Amino acid sequence: MRVRVHQHVNPLSPYYRFVPKQIEIEEVFANPDLPLLLDIGSARGRFLLKMAEVEPQWNFLGVEIREPLVVEANRLAKEKNLTNLHYEFCNASFALDELLANLPANLLQTVTIQFPDPWYKRKHAKRRMVTGDLVETIVKHLKVAGKVFIQTDVDFLAEEMFVVFRENANLSEIEITEKFFPVKTERENAVEEKGLPVYRRIFEKSNG
């Protein structure tokens, strides 16, 4: 059964301005020493569910603002006995730093932001996920040489996001030379089936 949820929620509403308990990775992963991939805006979590199956030597953490999707995704991970997969209910724009506060250094190797909600109208622009503050939080927790993979099908949002990432002095844009992941997200599949373009970039943490 597919869990029914609101299509979008407003990350600025007081309800979503909460600070989650910081994640204790030894409690959520069987082997907490594995390299970690964080997917921000994991939605129903299907991308990570498949990634966790094909890449058992990695841990996968999904962060999502719509709580029912998180509950259902964790249920599916448990049903499949995937001990390298976990999802957290968190407003990444508001409290990602607090969620990751206890993360051991040099563990976070990859971060993905895939097809974030564009919030098309100018009056809703403040609800968009990628801001300088979010990028700073990502850089703070990412290990050196760790990578951030971003993709969207919305051209103006792509440019807006890429600029914010380029403005961070600790990140360098690197060329995408090959298919980055063996798995596509739900939104990626839907966009590609329609033959629409996808804009992708990878940034690498160079220092700091």
Which residues participate in catalysis according to the annotation?
Answer: 117
Supply the minimum distance, in Å, between the C-beta of residue 66 and ligand SAM.
5
Residue 64 near ligand SAM by CB under 6 A? yes
Residue 95 near ligand SAM by CB under 6 A? no
The answer to whether 171 and 113 have CB atoms below 8 angstroms apart is no
Q: Report the DSSP beta bridge partners of residue 204.
A: 147, 172
CA angle at 137 for the pair 133 and 139, rounded to the nearest 5°:
115
List of E strands, the chain: 36-40, 59-64, 85-89, 108-114, 142-152, 171-174, 199-205
| Sign for the pseudo-dihedral over CA of 86, 87, 90, 94 | positive
Residue 63 near ligand SAM by CB under 6 A? yes
Residue 187 near ligand SAM by CB under 6 A? yes
Supply the minimum distance, in Å, between the C-beta of residue 181 and ligand SAM.
11
Residue 62 near ligand SAM by CB under 6 A? no
Length of the chain, please?
A: 208
Supply the minimum distance, in Å, between the C-beta of residue 186 and ligand SAM.
4
180 versus 207: smaller Cβ distance to ligand SAM: 180
Binding residues (CB under 6 A) for ligand SAM: these are 11, 41, 43, 63-66, 91-93, 114-117, 129, 185-188
